[in-house]
Amino acid sequence: MGRTREVARRAGVFVMTVTNLLNHPDVVADATRLRVLAAIEEPDEVGSVASLHNSRESVDREGRQLGHLLEQRVQGVLITPVDERVTDLAPFVARGIPVVLVDPSALPLRTEAT
């Protein structure tokens, strides 16, 4: 229903009009049909949302969390991997999703003023 409501808002029509178009396209006027179809084709608006996960040094938990992020179609991943065998990142790379590996051995960071 949320997606239907969003399409209706974009097209400037009632939710029932979107439902009619999908189920009974012959009852929707041509001009309205074109507006609704255009709204359906528009990409979803994406807000900036950060999601923080802690694997607690568990490779299995890290893998499950990465799988969840992949299902959520995230726009990028920042990860401090549990170990060097991070095979669960391959699907992100294959889909063109940016992945940044944060090296924990670089810590602590020195911030001395010169």
Alpha-carbon distance 97 to 14, whole Å? 35
pLDDT in tens, 73-111: 888 888 888 877 766 888 988 999 898 888 766 555 555
Alpha-carbon distance 31 to 99, whole Å? 43
Q: What is the CA radius of gyration of the chain?
A: 22
Does the model's pTM come out above 0.75? no
pLDDT computed for residue 12 by the predictor: 95
Place of tokens 């997606």: 3
What is residue 107's three-state secondary structure? coil
